[in-house]
Structure 1
Amino acid sequence: MRNILFIITSPRGAESLSTKVARTLVDDLKRAAPGTTVVTRDLGAEPLPHLEATALGGFFTPADQQTADQKAAAALSDTLIAELKAADTIVIASAMINFTITSTLKSWFDHVTRAGITFRYTEDGRPEGLVTGKKVYLVVATGGVYSKPPLDAIDFQTPYIKHMLGFLGMTDVEIVRVEGSIFGPEAAEKAVAEATAAVKALTREALAA
């Protein structure tokens, strides 16, 4: 049985290409492993609050000294971390907005990146991720083609996500790109078709493993 955490980031709802391809991936993974459970975090439909003083105060205050507001803010973070730790597979549908991730996905990373819980620093000062043993599928959608020059130099989406995942201990990451949709309906259909084919290949590998 597989436990999947499915994170949706696009504010475009049913029109989102990253969500469409990622849903296909999640459905295929479920078929490959009967009994799979899926927890969905739709950050586009239900954005997480951005970090502010109360939340940060709660993160760094002992539980028995937290105010009621700090407890509530920390409880949300705790819930998100519990979802992440409970999953053995994470599927992230990431839509590029102005060359990088959505602010809602940034908020998710901010809530789950907590010292002593999801990462720590070793005695020699090196960071060590504590969220290990996960398989991550990253579906990134971009209007242009950012997988190669010249636009790869201004892709601040994929490198950032990979860095944050690695910082937390998740280094087994498969990337599926849905790119070039800005060039018209036919280009968008082609982008989805190619990404879906990539998804099918990945799920065949998962089934064979």
Structure 2
Amino acid sequence: MNILHIESSIFAENGVSSQLSRTLLEKLTLENPGSEIRHKHFGQEPVPHFDGETLQALMQDPDSRSGEQKDKVAYADQQIADVQWADVIVIGLPMYNFSVPSMLKAWFDFIARAGVTFRYTEKGPEGLLLNKKVHILATRGGQYKDTPIDTQIPFVKTFLNFLGITDINVIYAEGLNMGDDLKTLAIADAENQIQQLQSA
């Protein structure tokens, strides 16, 4: 099994979402010996914003790209290659100001490329990243699950579905800033859900 592990917390390995993602990662590797893992730690290795210069580099004829443009294209290509390689994607996903971390959004921008990860057809857009499983460890300071305020998970699911990824499992740990007792219970419940997962 090829596993892509993404920690998007600004607190790096100290984030609760990072810790829960590592708990899930440990379970997956124990159940699937010989699995290969690629890690992305956005708190330690920030993702640049997808800007106009990056888009221009991608559109530039490969033979006429500058050295800087070649570096930008190589980085962008690698992000897509990692997703294409993965069978399972594990995402530690904290909520910041009702949305996803900005570096995760930037990473999404890098992996959405027409003709590569999706394409437009006469019947509309078609995702090209098929047969992948995504586990999301969603952590929040408050309690937002299944409320109109939670625009985060619907956005992430919409984006992944657009790329062809429809097998998505979400484990929540909410109320982390609402007192130590609730925080302890929320983390314990998330860890229990992780252990109860039957398969990748």
Give the TM-score of the pair, scaled to structure 2: 0.96
Question: What secondary structure does 1:94 align onto?
Answer: strand
Partner of 2:161: 166
What code does the residue aligned with 2:174 have? E
What code does the residue aligned with 2:151 have? F
1:146 aligns with one of 144, 147, 150? 144
Question: What secondary structure does 2:177 align onto?
Answer: helix
Q: Deviations over 1:41-82 (max 9, x none)?
A: 011221111012210102222322323222211110101111
Is the 1:9–1:102 Cα contact (8 Å) retained in structure 2? yes
Pairing 1:28–2:21 present: no
After TM superposition, the structure 1 = structure 2 runs for residues 12-51 of structure 1, keeping only pairs within 5 Å, are 12-51=11-50
Aligned length: 200
Pairing 1:189–2:188 present: no
After TM superposition, the structure 1 = structure 2 runs for residues 113-152 of structure 1, keeping only pairs within 5 Å, are 113-124=112-123, 126-148=124-146, 152=147
Q: Deviations over 1:180-209 (max 9, x none)?
A: 11111221111110001111111xx117xx
Matches of 2:48 and 2:19, distance apart in 1: 25
Q: Deviations over 1:71-109 (max 9, x none)?
A: 211110101111111110000111100000000000110
Is the 2:8–2:104 Cα contact (8 Å) retained in structure 1? yes
What code does the residue aligned with 2:111 have? V
Partner of 2:193: 198
Which stretches in structure 2 are left out of the alignment for 5+ residues?
Answer: none
What code does the residue aligned with 2:50 have? L
Is the 2:17–2:137 Cα contact (8 Å) retained in structure 1? yes
What code does the residue aligned with 2:184 have? E
Percent identity over paired residues? 38
Is the 1:101–1:156 Cα contact (8 Å) retained in structure 2? no
Partner of 1:97: 96
Q: Deviations over 1:143-168 (max 9, x none)?
A: 111113xxx21212111111111111
Partner of 1:156: 151
Is the 1:54–1:69 Cα contact (8 Å) retained in structure 2? no
Which stretches in structure 1 are left out of the alignment for 5+ residues?
Answer: none
RMSD: 1.2
Matches of 1:62 and 1:120, distance apart in 2: 21
